[in-house]
Chains A and B, each alone.
Chain A
Amino acid sequence: GESVGLHLPTLSVQEGDNSIINCAYSNSASDYFIWYKQESGKGPQFIIDIRSNMDKRQGQRVTVLLNKTVKHLSLQIAATQPGDSAVYFCAELGGSYIPTFGRGTSLIVHP
């Protein structure tokens, strides 16, 4: 289930399940969005991106959905694996292409 911790919300899933991580962004002028994965003690890694003229984009095992009406992004991970355990951040970018990071969600995958 999903719970909100002191700073980071946490999503716990079983290995093999699908995971859905949500993100609300703040700036309606943002036109480019990126999902990053950050493992403990490491820098963020690019997962998938989407531009505002799209509402869905698929990668390998990951899908990003964008709902501009409610300023909402989601990251879907299919067949979640223990190696997917990490903190996931969405980032919104405008014309300056400087990402503003969202709050982050900690994904815990139980074997």
Chain B
Amino acid sequence: GAVVSQHPSRVICKSGTSVKIECRSLDFQATTMFWYRQFPKQSLMLMATSNEGSKATYEQGVEKDKFLINHASLTLSTLTVTSAHPEDSSFYICSARVRTSGGASETQYFGPGTRLLVL
């Protein structure tokens, strides 16, 4: 099956610093990538939808200036948490929607997640 990778898998940073998380589709092109956040023992909450070459669409309540998303190619999206604070500590998961010859598919593949701890 299709593989989505995330880097780093875990990161610890000091409060006030910025952290960049990469999401790559390894063996397919992704029309759209999605970023989710998951707090312990809770469900995945969609943060934003990222289309290659265009601005991301953020969900209500998600600060676009704090969570910068860049989708530079059909295989790479990055999420930068700017001026991170302890309350940003969470599990960040990306997913990628497969691009097919017939257009966008509903099939999504999830990355393994990135654990962010802000001290």
* A–B complex contacts, Cβ < 8 Å, 29 sampled: A5-B41, A6-B41, A7-B40, A8-B41, A8-B42, A41-B91, A41-B113, A41-B115, A42-B112, A42-B113, A43-B4, A43-B95, A43-B111, A43-B113, A44-B93, A45-B110, A46-B109, A89-B44, A93-B106, A97-B106, A98-B34, A98-B49, A99-B108, A100-B46, A101-B43, A102-B43, A103-B43, A104-B42, A104-B43
Interface size for B (C-beta < 8 A) is 24
Contact A97 B104 (CB under 8 A): yes
Q: Distance in Å from the Cβ of B82 to the closest Cβ of chain A?
A: 24
Q: In the bound complex, how far is the Cα of B45 from the Cα of A103, in angstroms? A: 10
Verify B44–A44 contact, CB threshold 8 A: yes
Nearest CB on B from A92, distance (A): 12
Among candidates A5, A32, A43, A100, residue contacting B110 with C-beta atoms closer than 8 Å: A43
By secondary structure, the A interface counts as loop
Complex Cα distance A25/B62, Å?
23
Chain B residues in contact with chain A, CB under 8 A? 4, 6, 34, 40-46, 49, 91, 93, 95, 97, 104, 106, 108-113, 115
> What are the 10 A-B residue pairs with the smallest beta carbon separation, nearest first?
A43-B110, A97-B106, A7-B41, A101-B43, A101-B44, A43-B113, A44-B110, A43-B112, A8-B41, A43-B93
B22 to chain A, nearest CB (A): 14
Which range contains the number of A residues in contact with the other chain? 20 to 34
Which residues of chain A are near B113, meaning CB under 8 Å? 41-43
Please report the C-alpha to C-alpha distance between residue A98 and residue B42 in the assembled complex, in whole angstroms: 18
From residue A16, how far is it (CB to closest CB) to chain B in Å? 27
B112 to chain A minimum Cβ distance, whole angstroms, is 5
Which residue of A32, A89, A104 contacts B106 across the interface (Cβ within 8 Å)? Answer: A32
List 7 other contacts, CB 8 Å, given A41-B91, A46-B109.
A41-B115, A43-B113, A44-B93, A45-B110, A89-B43, A98-B34, A102-B43
Chain B hits for A36, CB < 8 A = 110
